[in-house]
Amino acid sequence: MNLAGVFAPVPTPFDDQDRVDTRRLAAALRKWAARPISGFVVLGSNGEAVLMDDDESERAIAAAREAVPRDRLFIVGTGRESTQAAIRASRRAAEHGADAVLVRTPGFFKNQMTTDAFVRHYTAVADESIVPVLLYNFTALTGVNLLPAAVSRLGEHPNIIGMKESGGDVAQIAELVNGTPAGFGVLAGTTATFYAALCVGAVGGILALACAVPEACVRLFTATREGRHDEARAIQRQLAPLAKLLGPTFGVPGLKAALNVLGYDVGLPRPPLAPLPETAVKTLRDALAQFEEIPA
Amino acid sequence: MNLAGVFAPVPTPFDDQDRVDTRRLAAALRKWAARPISGFVVLGSNGEAVLMDDDESERAIAAAREAVPRDRLFIVGTGRESTQAAIRASRRAAEHGADAVLVRTPGFFKNQMTTDAFVRHYTAVADESIVPVLLYNFTALTGVNLLPAAVSRLGEHPNIIGMKESGGDVAQIAELVNGTPAGFGVLAGTTATFYAALCVGAVGGILALACAVPEACVRLFTATREGRHDEARAIQRQLAPLAKLLGPTFGVPGLKAALNVLGYDVGLPRPPLAPLPETAVKTLRDALAQFEEIPA
Amino acid sequence: MNLAGVFAPVPTPFDDQDRVDTRRLAAALRKWAARPISGFVVLGSNGEAVLMDDDESERAIAAAREAVPRDRLFIVGTGRESTQAAIRASRRAAEHGADAVLVRTPGFFKNQMTTDAFVRHYTAVADESIVPVLLYNFTALTGVNLLPAAVSRLGEHPNIIGMKESGGDVAQIAELVNGTPAGFGVLAGTTATFYAALCVGAVGGILALACAVPEACVRLFTATREGRHDEARAIQRQLAPLAKLLGPTFGVPGLKAALNVLGYDVGLPRPPLAPLPETAVKTLRDALAQFEEIPA
Amino acid sequence: MNLAGVFAPVPTPFDDQDRVDTRRLAAALRKWAARPISGFVVLGSNGEAVLMDDDESERAIAAAREAVPRDRLFIVGTGRESTQAAIRASRRAAEHGADAVLVRTPGFFKNQMTTDAFVRHYTAVADESIVPVLLYNFTALTGVNLLPAAVSRLGEHPNIIGMKESGGDVAQIAELVNGTPAGFGVLAGTTATFYAALCVGAVGGILALACAVPEACVRLFTATREGRHDEARAIQRQLAPLAKLLGPTFGVPGLKAALNVLGYDVGLPRPPLAPLPETAVKTLRDALAQFEEIPA
């Protein structure tokens, strides 16, 4: 399984009654399928997975599977606080056609989430999962850090093929790359440090911005890979303001608003998330304007 | 509804196949019912609620309801990341006999959890809940802080009767007390500052230690209330080492181990939590020894 | 030496040429001497000591010594990053008449400031100091924490008589009290938790608010001491908004502005500190108004 | 003034009586002068400047000036908490022959150190300094962050020519580079992210490791500059373990111990810093062994 490239972590549309809208999810994925994206992640953090129950999740997976072409990777987020729940979600995702599962660290019982606990958790999931497992560390949201020492041990597992590291600590990304086997792919989760992450050995990225401005993300990836560093640095610089807005500042409401501006029709976030205020949408629209991706 | 007093947030026993063991939950509650505890919380943080699915939760609630005497408050934890899920869990808890629900803050999308977002979330839950609602702030685990400014607004809602504040920031507890109506009860969630919280106006506490050493907790509560501050301070001092162990240090595995030492038979925690190592159990046993609650 | 009571950490006036204005320092201290304050701290954090050189410090000490009545404790801040510098400053302070020295933790080399390092530092200072030493922990400013484990060891030193703990963690204050000999006095440094700190055993406080509203602080102290907890709690509640403004929000510029409003003529802070903006002065004036300490 | 390249922030030797040992400082600098280092920083964080008084500082500057060849940049750390003190120290450094001054942010009064306060502080220093000024941000030690917004404004000052950013946040380094004029040089202060910092536009580094293994640091710099990214990445990977040890883990005591191993004879750190324990020296020696810089 080739993890090199740019992956889009897609949001989940909800309808007017706050139900998962599988039709709009599929329609949006078909639009994205026309772009040079290497694969898709559904039910990640950006997919509001933590706001959905298991039935909703399965319907979203099934609908997405239909829409994602077979030549792209189809990755499903299946992180749960309980090890058994993560195993069950991973198996169900595979049954619905996932190519791989992306398993966010449990993080509720912070003091207990030691390296040993992470190794036990992921080993159990990888042992039971039908499809390959990607680790997923997102310290800013979970409050726990899946350290290189744990990843190094987990990278030996035959069913763990890589990870998404959403933090911007490039030294940690370098350490993850250096501490794992050649076939283990480290994917960046932060656009603000995407170019630097590629420099130190990340094989690609799962980036909210890949939903909004996929061409720019892919050009950055390709330029770096082909040694055109000045070009890569220039694209990174162009992406920086948008990365800030779609990352910590506006979050999922911002991503959905940006995608609606771009014609993807992904609707509003689910409460307690609130729609992005109009002034913020205006800011986003201005930041997007320079990318010439806004439909006429 | 009288929130004054000491409440026990009870753990959930699992059996050898990692299934919820309702029989042992009921048995443990019947033992606790013989102690001077004002009420019980099931499915709180200490109840490993985040590791359980909805079906398991309902069976645990039903079993607990049977075992808790009607003259004690029976509170059920129903916090969820999604507002609708929190509403549904709260309604189901009431249908299974909860006297009140304890609703932990959503905390996954940290940057979006503003005061306005919390007010919308809790107002929606309180509007729909059949039984009174207690707010629940546990910043160390959630990474978000339900500030006095939000609580002050929520304290006006007729169906929100109080809150559990698990942080040890006594200035914040004082501000919560001072910023809410007289009938709104602030309950401390940290034994290490229980006496100080009572001094500044908390009406009681929901304390892991109330499961292990209820008499000491109740004596501390009563001494403070009756103005015997030297006695209260002495009990607080006696509780301090155990509070440290059962709080941040050993967590839920520690609480379960302590209760097993004390004869409550609550089993082991659910993965990714691991049983407390034997050396730590020894430390706990020593700390418990001075309380003369260990059965012969 | 009796550390019980309320102490005022006084600011250092500078003149129009940004020179230490010893005349105005002495005048302000004489005004304070008419209030029921147990003693004074010069060259503490509020004294902008880190912005002054050694010569300026000595002139300020000498001038203050003249103005402080002999029946009040006269404490001088002598914390330095280097152990030898702290020793020299402590000896000079004593030569200029200090009754005791208040030695803030070094904090620049954070990772190296272990319990052992603190014990070595303070032991060396206490061995060499002519007058008794008070430890001083202010984690919010220094980024290091002088833990109870270190204080417990240092409390055995015959020339270390107490400490100022500026943090609001009441559990830590309790632990400091419980882990030190009876004669060791723990002084609170945060007004927001002054009452709670007294409840758990602090013998008094060194409080910015004691410069501005000494009577209220002293009444809170006395009420707690005499078991009138309802009264103490009411005063604490009255002090809370002002404590917030003069603490983290407005800092030294706020304290100086408040004291100028109250007629103490302490001038402006030294750059890089800037004078409090007029709108903030207005906020302060309103908060002070209810205390009836503003001169007609 | 050309800031491109690798700079060594040298430690200050003290003699057996804890006095500044200018002779050994000069001798060490003469040894370093034989290596391909672009310049030297004395009295930086690694120089234990915060543990030295003004007289000692001036003697160290004068001795270093003698030893540093005129074809290398000679930079002196002159950061102080007070703006006036920073100005005075900067002027004195220039009088003793500094080519430029490196001015660490004040950081004691954290809440007051706003962007405006930093701009005022550095503008005043740059206005008065005889030689060019380098800004210096070291959040891990100071607890304050000199944000790109402030640097962008300060970069317009004709006497501010660059900055040292000691944090490992590569996105912030990119933002600093992108927000300042072409002639403004951003220097990395963390070896762990040196390669990534160069990728995003840093012109060089002031690196503790440049004292210990200058050739490797310079090869990394040159390889990146000349587009040999695979080689650069390999050197970065080789430097990583040592960067960890000499950075946060062992600090100044570690740097001095490493340099003593390497034959530089820089003595022991000043209290409260303690000499590195023997076991840690052994760890360092092993990490250094692969660099073949240990003298026979």
Which residues does B contribute to its contact with A (CB < 8 Å)?
A: 18, 45, 50-54, 81-85, 106, 108-113, 116-118, 120-121, 124, 140-141, 143, 248-249, 251-253, 270-274
**The one-letter amino acid at B294:** I
Which residues does A contribute to its contact with B (CB < 8 Å)?
A: 18, 45, 50-54, 81-85, 106, 108-113, 116-118, 120-121, 124, 140-141, 143, 248-249, 251-253, 270-274
CA distances from D151 to A245, D137, D178, D186, D248 (A): 21, 10, 11, 10, 25
Print the SS3 string covering C43-88.
CCHHHCHHHCCHHHHHHHHHHHHHHCCCCCEEEEECCCCCHHHHHH
* Most C-contacting residue of B173, B191, B199 (CB-CB within 10 A), to test interface: B199
Count CB-CB contacts under 10 A for residue D83: 23
pLDDT confidence band for A219 (50 / 70 / 90): very high
Tokens 């891990």 belong to which residue? D140
CA–CA distance, B195 with B197 (Å, rounded to integer) = 5
Q: Which of B31, B110, B164, B282 is catalytic?
A: B164
Which of B171, B190, B237 lies nearest to residue C192, judging by beta carbons?
B171
* Most A-contacting residue of B109, B120, B128, B268 (CB-CB within 10 A), to test interface: B109
Percent of chain C scoring above 70 in pLDDT = 99
Q: What are phi and psi of C6, to 5 degrees?
A: -110, 125
Give me the pLDDT at residue A21, please. 98
Is residue B176 predicted with pLDDT exceeding 60? yes
Residue of A nearest to B122 (CA): A272
* Most A-contacting residue of D186, D198, D199 (CB-CB within 10 A), to test interface: D199
Residue C181, Cβ density class (10 Å: 0-12 exposed, 13-18 middle, ≥19 buried): exposed
Task: Report yes or no: A187 and A134 within 8 Å, Cβ to Cβ.
Answer: yes
Residue of B nearest to C201 (CA): B233
pLDDT confidence band for D247 (50 / 70 / 90): confident
Percent of chain B scoring above 70 in pLDDT = 99
pLDDT confidence band for A248 (50 / 70 / 90): confident
Return the axis-axis angle of helices C229-244 and C278-289, rounded to nearest 10°: 170
* Long-range Cβ contact pairs of A51-57 (< 8 A, separation 24 or more): A51/A270, A51/A273, A51/B81, A51/B82, A51/B85, A52/A12, A52/A20, A52/A270, A52/B82, A53/B54, A53/B85, A54/A89, A54/A92, A54/B53, A56/A19, A56/A20, A57/A89, A57/A92
CA distances from A127 to A84, A91, A96, B246 (A): 12, 11, 19, 33
CA–CA distance, D45 with D37 (Å, rounded to integer) = 19
Task: Report yes or no: D133 and D97 within 8 Å, Cβ to Cβ.
Answer: no
Cross-chain Cβ contact A273/B108 below 8 Å: no
Task: Report yes or no: B80 and A234 within 8 Å, Cβ to Cβ.
Answer: no
CA distances from A95 to A53, A86, A125, A127, A246 (A): 17, 14, 15, 16, 32
A172: distance to nearest CA of chain B, Å?
A: 22
Task: Report yes or no: C131 and C100 within 8 Å, Cβ to Cβ.
Answer: yes
pLDDT confidence band for A294 (50 / 70 / 90): low
pLDDT confidence band for C296 (50 / 70 / 90): low
CA distances from C180 to C118, C149, C162, C218, D181 (A): 16, 10, 9, 25, 57
Per-residue pLDDT reduced to its tens digit, D39-64: 999 999 999 999 999 999 999 999 99
D168: distance to nearest CA of chain C, Å?
A: 17
- Whole-number average pLDDT of chain A: 96
Reference D219, options D200, D194, D190, D201; nearest CA is D194
Residue of C nearest to B235 (CA): C200
Query: What is the average pLDDT across C189-208?
Result: 98
Dihedral sign of CA atoms A263, A265, A267, A273 in order: negative
- DSSP for C153-197 reads HHTTSTTEEEEEE-S-BHHHHHHHHHTS-TTPEEEE--GGGHHHH
CA–CA distance, A216 with D202 (Å, rounded to integer) = 23
Tokens 């012109």 belong to which residue? D203
Cα A228 to chain center, whole Å? 26
Active site residue D256: no
Give me the pLDDT at residue B290, please. 86
- Whole-number average pLDDT of chain B: 96
Give me the pLDDT at residue C293, please. 65
CA–CA distance, B99 with B1 (Å, rounded to integer) = 9
Query: What is the average pLDDT across D176-199?
Result: 97
- Whole-number average pLDDT of chain D: 96
Query: What is the average pLDDT across D83-92?
Result: 98
Give me the pLDDT at residue A103, please. 98
Residue of D nearest to C106 (CA): D272
Query: What is the average pLDDT across A1-28?
Result: 97
Q: What is residue D187's DSSP assignment?
A: E
Q: What is residue D247's DSSP assignment?
A: I
CA–CA distance, D56 with B293 (Å, rounded to integer) = 63
C-alpha atoms less than 13 angstroms from C-alpha of D61 in its C-beta half-sphere = 28
CA–CA distance, D126 with D66 (Å, rounded to integer) = 25
Per-residue pLDDT reduced to its tens digit, A103-151: 999 999 999 999 999 999 999 999 999 999 999 999 999 999 999 999 9
3-state secondary structure of C120: helix
Per-residue pLDDT reduced to its tens digit, B251-278: 999 999 999 999 999 999 999 999 999 9
Query: What is the average pLDDT across D72-91?
Result: 98
Q: Which of A164, A244, A256, A282 is catalytic?
A: A164
Task: Report yes or no: D43 and D76 within 8 Å, Cβ to Cβ.
Answer: yes
CA distances from A275 to A268, A280, A281 (A): 6, 10, 10
Q: Where are the beta strands (DSSP E) in A171-233?
A: 185-188, 204-206
CA–CA distance, C171 with B240 (Å, rounded to integer) = 9
Task: Report yes or no: D122 and D80 within 8 Å, Cβ to Cβ.
Answer: no
CA–CA distance, D26 with D41 (Å, rounded to integer) = 13
Is residue C169 predicted with pLDDT exceeding 70? yes
B55 Cβ neighbours under 8 A, 6+ residues apart: none
Per-residue pLDDT reduced to its tens digit, D133-166: 999 999 999 999 999 999 999 999 999 999 999 9
Reference C264, options C293, C241, C291; nearest CA is C293
Q: What is residue D5's DSSP assignment?
A: E
Is residue B41 predicted with pLDDT exceeding 80? yes
